Amino acid sequence: MNSFSAGFPDQNVQILDGGKLLSRGASEEWWRGAVIYQVYPRSFADGNGDGVGDLPGLLGKLDYIAGLGVDAIWISPFQRSPQEDYGYDVSDYCDVDPLFGTLADFDRVLARAHALGLRVLMDQVWSHSSNRHPWFLESRASRGNAKSNWYVWADPAPDGTAPSNWLSVFGGPAWSWEPRRRQYYLHHFLASQPAFNLHNPEVVEALMEIGRFWLDRGVDGFRLDAVDWMCHDPSLRGNPSAHHPGDPIPAKPFGMQLHQNDLLHPRTLDVLRSIRSLQDEYPGVTTLAEVSSQDGAFDRLRRYTGEGMLDMAYTLRFMRGPLCHETVASTLRWMSEHAVGWPCWAFSNHDVERVASRWNPQRGQPGYSDSEAPASPTFLRMLMAMLLCLRGSICVYQGEELGLPEASLRQEELRDPFGISFWPDYKGRDGSRTPMPWSANASAAGFSEGQPWLPVPLAHRVMAVDVQEQDAESPLASWRDFLQFRREQPALVRGSLQALELPAPLVGFTRTQGEQTMICVFNLSETAERAVLPGTRGARQAWGSNARLGRAAKGGRQCILEAHGAIVLEAARGTT
């Protein structure tokens, strides 16, 4: 029997020589402060040359992920699916889609990841299924079968129209007609993604059985998709308008409503408690919830991760707005004021524009042609340090460690139904889902020997892994170095956070764990800035990028940050 310890010193995870997980370890909170690497398997690595990434491809790249210094991986959906929403429409929750491999392939990924000290989280899409799932096929057949109430069904209004004014995120009504039942069914996204009726305890328990299937197999936790969409108002009351007369009509009508009744229902908390009870059956596993960008996102994050609830949650809210002093400072104040619950922070994922483009300060300036223009190395290092210094756990999206910009695709290259529907006002999610570039000069940048399902941008080839591994100043080298640095600082992993009141464009905070206090300051602008940091007279510079400590001043040391500078200080013991 072998044992390994990864991430935190109190872990003691035991595995067999063959890699099968025996015990998830004495530490039931390995996730607290963990760095989780998100793999979008379609685009990570193709093991069979069909142009689509798969589990054998992922298996071959696990050593690379472990070499970054992360603690876990989150694998986006690979269960059986018609792939109309690219895996987020599941037709069999307990099998692997042949596109990605087999259950045996997944077992090999799990065993190798555990042998490398990586925990494995998998996506669970429990707010809706595919319309090809056997449960839905039975439910739609009649009003009197055993699963007739497993999805959300409703009679038409007296004039034959939909039961309510609810809208789909992907455009149009959130209701589709089913002639077999003479009723409408609810779908928050595509019409092929019918919503579960999670007010029905039988459905909740069936989903918990799915969870047990994967947890018994050795999975270390779940990322829970679209939690805010899990429960609706059973009385189907209409949503009020959020649109003011005279305002322009948006491309996405979903934004014209206040979503008070179609989602965010209090019953969601009961469903999450059921998931927590399942989790408690398997000590050492974790749960990570996705919180939408709807108003009140940070408060929901806090409630979803409170006592007796899930472990972690991240919100798309922070990934929607601009990178500005007001947004960052208000978020830091929120973290200072709400120490209960545990956030997980992400700057990029498969649903949003890549952060290297979204927040690039050069965007819109003369000479900045499109989203593929690279961000400056100092800007990328500042984003990296800010993300990895925040209180909470961290999600890193594949390619973020390379500084990849958003891919600019032509309309005919799109696969995302969301982008196809709303082009050109919204170009969809494919720009963040293009293949991972492994080798600059290889076919499809080393992603596949076949024609990739999405094109590999030329701008990504020059940022390929093999290029960056030869450059000690590359974004990849910076991520590896900083992740190692962070691992050695208890305050940055699990410490409390207190926001610093700094003048714009500077933002900063302290992280404290036991006797260690780290002081983190970031310059959000392209202009050099100076600030005196109170209580830092004896502090030492632990890490810096485009920044340095200046002379001593009254009450502390002067901090000098050039354009997008970032600095991390360690306070002298007993001075904070």
Positions annotated as catalytic residues are 225, 281
Q: Which amino acid is at 26?
A: A
Strands 496-500 and 506-513: antiparallel
Contacts of 248 (CB under 8 A, 6+ apart): none
Distance of CA 11 to the CA centre of its chain: 24
Please say whether the dihedral angle defined by the alpha carbons of residues 395, 330, 290 and 417, taken in this order, is positive or negative. negative
Distance of CA 123 to the CA centre of its chain: 10
Q: Which residues pair with 455 in a beta bridge?
A: none
Supply the DSSP string of 463-489, one letter for each residue. Answer: T-HHHHTT-TTSHHHHHHHHHHHHHT-
Q: Are 252 and 185 in contact, with CB atoms under 8 Å apart? A: no
Contacts of 161 (CB under 8 A, 6+ apart): none
Q: Are 119 and 71 in contact, with CB atoms under 8 Å apart? A: yes
Contacts of 481 (CB under 8 A, 6+ apart): none
Cα 491 from Cα 408, distance rounded (Å): 39
Q: Quote the strand ranges of 212-364, DSSP E.
A: 221-224, 286-291, 312-315, 344-346
Backbone φ/ψ region at 435: left (φ over 0), alpha (ψ -120 to 50), beta? beta
Strands 153-154 and 35-39: unpaired
Nearest CA-CA partner of 77 in 44, 110, 39, 107 = 39
Please say whether the dihedral angle defined by the alpha carbons of residues 349, 355, 357 and 358, taken in this order, is positive or negative. positive
Cα 206 from Cα 564, distance rounded (Å): 50
Number of H helices, E strands in the chain: 15, 22
Helices (H), 398-540: 417-422, 458-461, 465-468, 475-487, 490-494
Q: What b/e readout covers 72-108, taking b as 16+ CB neighbours within 10 angstroms?
A: bbbbbbbbbbbbbbbbbbbbbbeebbebbbeeebbbb
